[in-house]
């Protein structure tokens, strides 16, 4: 892989990092607001209907799960940026073979080629 390619992937990874960070902020702002009471924008301190509270709780759990997944994705993007800096980007961490550009275009933060990724899946034969 050439230094020009490294620069291209660095820009893509940085743009992906920025987008995920913005998504996290938006999720946190929209999804983690409280239910009922003036602190959350309600008109009184009277709690909502129990069904609404359950829905709010479910939505908050889902939002927390999404935030956790996005945090893991940011960690993968950061690790890929480190691989760019060290010149090991685009090489499978298992077999050391070159990861095809088609795969890097779809998953620029990937650590493994398709064959090794299949082998690493839980329950893989």
Query: What's the predicted TM-score (pTM) here?
Result: 0.73
Residue 35 has pLDDT above 60, yes or no: no
Residue 62 has pLDDT above 70, yes or no: yes
C-alpha distances in angstroms, 4 versus 1, 59, 81, 84, 107? 8, 44, 15, 11, 18
Mean pLDDT of 18-42: 72
Task: Round the average pLDDT of the chain to a whole number and report it.
Answer: 83
Question: Is 117 in a helix, a strand, or coil?
Answer: helix
Question: Is 120 in a helix, a strand, or coil?
Answer: helix
Residue 6 has pLDDT above 80, yes or no: yes
| Structural element, H or E, at residue 72 | helix 50-86
Residue 33 has pLDDT above 70, yes or no: no
Residue 115 has pLDDT above 60, yes or no: yes
Calpha distance 113→98 (Å, rounded) = 7
Which of the 8 DSSP states describes residue 38?
G
């Amino acid at each position: 892989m050439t230094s020009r390619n490294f620069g291209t992937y660095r820009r893509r990874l940085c743009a992906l990092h920025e987008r995920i960070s913005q998504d996290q902020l938006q999720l946190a702002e929209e999804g983690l607001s409280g239910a009922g009471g003036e602190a959350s924008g309600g008109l009184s301190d009277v709690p909502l209907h129990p069904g609404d509270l359950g829905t709010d709780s479910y939505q908050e759990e889902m939002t927390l799960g999404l935030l956790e997944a996005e945090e893991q994705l940011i960690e993968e993007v950061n690790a890929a940026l480190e691989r760019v800096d060290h010149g090991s980007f685009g090489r499978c961490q298992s077999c050391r073979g070159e990861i095809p550009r088609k795969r890097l275009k779809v998953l620029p933060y990937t650590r493994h080629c398709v064959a090794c990724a299949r082998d690493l899946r839980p329950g893989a034969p």
